[in-house]
């Protein structure tokens, strides 16, 4: 798949010959220097833009169709919650809007490309699991940035998307909030069996969370390495003391360094 912005001498090859298969239920991270096309790839998967060459399939259907059937949940870098609605009403809003599209999703399921849609989870329960039990009835302006970020994740999970697409969701958070959100994300992922495509600049975050780390390089934007992380789960705090975890970190960091130098060359 290719994606080119602009034309002629001003053209940017945001994605060049990118070919990636993500098996259902896997947690895949994209990591790479700024401008290597991570967000572009996510936007294409989420159906927000189209490749100039090649195609993308989400459980067998084009992203726009998967999106219309609410099979894809997007967590953008800065969460857009409606300021006049409580946290609870914000996270349940997509489900209310979605009621009419459930049939469509079943039809896609009926074509044999995916399993039957699971029932909507109890959003209150998800909010409590995400540490937002006390914040449920507050307005977005009354809670912290980290809480808003968690609310956006719960909202995306609430539709039980087959594919959850997250663009640097934890980048603006302190280390401990970030670790706690990673834990909550892994718990939700484990429970809902969603496929996750996750963009991060943090090597340790990528290694801790992922089944697979995809390393990308810019100029043109491309995939340079696909590293399977063969570490047991659950990956709690003890992981940070384990030698193999640090070996994976070193491996990803080494590939990233090469990607970065490739850019400078």
Ligand X SMILES: Nc1ncnc2c1ncn2[C@@H]1O[C@H](COP(=O)(O)OP(=O)(O)OP(=O)(O)O)[C@@H](O)[C@H]1O
Binding site for Mg ion (CB under 5 A): 39
Check binding of 14 to ligand X (CB under 6 A): yes
Q: Considering beta carbons, is residue 162 or 205 the nearer one to ligand X?
A: 205
Q: Of 117 and 196, which has the nearer Cβ to ligand X?
A: 196
What residue 37 binds from Mg ion, ligand X, none (CB within 5 to 8 A, per partner kind)? ligand X
What does the alpha-carbon distance between residue 78 and residue 127 come to, in Å, rounded to a whole number? Answer: 19
Q: Which of 16, 29, 31, 39 is close enough to bind ligand X by CB under 6 A?
A: 39
At closest approach, how far in Å is the CB of 7 from ligand X?
A: 11
> Shortest distance, CB of residue 201 to ligand X, whole angstroms?
6
Distances (CA, A) of 146 to 91, 136, 150, 203, 234: 15, 14, 6, 20, 23
Check binding of 29 to ligand X (CB under 6 A): no
Smaller CB distance to ligand X: residue 167 or 179? Answer: 167
Binding residue for ligand X, selected from 11, 17, 25, 34, defined by CB under 6 A? 34
Q: Which range binds ligand X by CB under 6 A, 34-42, 134-142, 172-180, 206-214? A: 34-42
Restricting to residues 210-229, name those near ligand X by CB under 6 A.
221
**73 or 220: whose CB is closer to ligand X?**
220
Q: Which is nearer to ligand X, 162 or 225 (CB)?
A: 225
CA distance 257 to 261: 6
> Is residue 36 near ligand X by the rule CB under 6 A?
yes
Of the pair 11, 82, the CB lying nearest ligand X is at 11
Q: Return the number of the residue (34 or 144) whose C-beta is nearest ligand X.
A: 34
Residue with the CB atom nearest Mg ion in the bound state: 39
The listed partner (ligand X, Mg ion, none) that binds 35, CB under 5 to 8 Å by sort, is ligand X
In DSSP notation, the chain reads -BEEES-GGG-EEEESS------TT-EEEEE-STTSSHHHHHHHHTTSS--SBS---BTTB-HHHHHHTT-EEEE-SS----TTS-HHHHHHHHHHHHGGGHHHHHHHIIIIISPPPPPPP-HHHHHHHTT-TTTTTS-GGGS-HHHHHHHHHHHHHHT--SEEEEESTTTTS-HHHHHHHHHHHHHHHHHH--EEEEE-S-HHHHHHH-SEEEEEETTTTEEEEEEE----SS--GGGGG-HHHHHHHHHHHHHHHHHHHHHH-
Considering only the C-alpha atoms of the chain, give the largest distance between any 2 of them, rounded to a whole number of Å. 55
Smallest gap, in angstroms, from Cβ of residue 10 to ligand X? Answer: 9
Query: Which residues are at the interface with ligand X (CB under 6 A)?
Result: 5-6, 12, 14, 34-40, 221
């Amino acid at each position: 798949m290719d994606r080119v912005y602009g034309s002629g001498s001003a053209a940017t090859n945001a994605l060049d010959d990118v070919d990636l298969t993500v098996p259902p239920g896997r947690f895949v991270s994209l990591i790479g220097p700024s401008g290597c096309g991570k967000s572009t790839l996510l936007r294409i998967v989420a159906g927000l833009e189209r490749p100039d060459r090649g195609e993308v399939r989400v459980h067998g259907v084009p992203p726009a169709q998967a999106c219309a059937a609410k099979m894809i949940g997007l967590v953008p870098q800065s969460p857009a919650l409606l300021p006049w609605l409580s946290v609870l009403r914000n996270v349940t809003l997509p489900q209310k809007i979605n009621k009419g599209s459930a049939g469509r999703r079943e039809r896609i399921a009926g074509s044999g490309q995916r399993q039957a849609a699971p029932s909507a989870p109890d959003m209150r329960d998800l909010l409590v699991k995400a540490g937002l039990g006390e914040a449920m009835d507050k307005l977005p302006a009354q809670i912290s940035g980290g809480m808003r970020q968690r609310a956006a994740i719960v909202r995306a999970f609430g539709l039980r998307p087959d594919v959850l697409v997250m663009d640097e969701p934890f980048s603006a958070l302190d280390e401990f909030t970030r670790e706690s959100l990673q834990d909550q994300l892994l718990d939700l992922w484990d429970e809902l069996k969603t496929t996750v495509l996750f963009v991060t600049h943090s090597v340790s975050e990528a290694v801790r969370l992922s089944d697979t780390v995809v390393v990308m390089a810019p100029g043109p934007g491309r995939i340079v390495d696909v590293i399977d992380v063969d570490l047991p789960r659950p990956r709690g705090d003890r992981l940070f003391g384990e030698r193999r975890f640090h070996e994976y970190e070193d491996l990803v960091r080494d590939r990233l360094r090469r990607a970065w130098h490739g850019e400078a060359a």
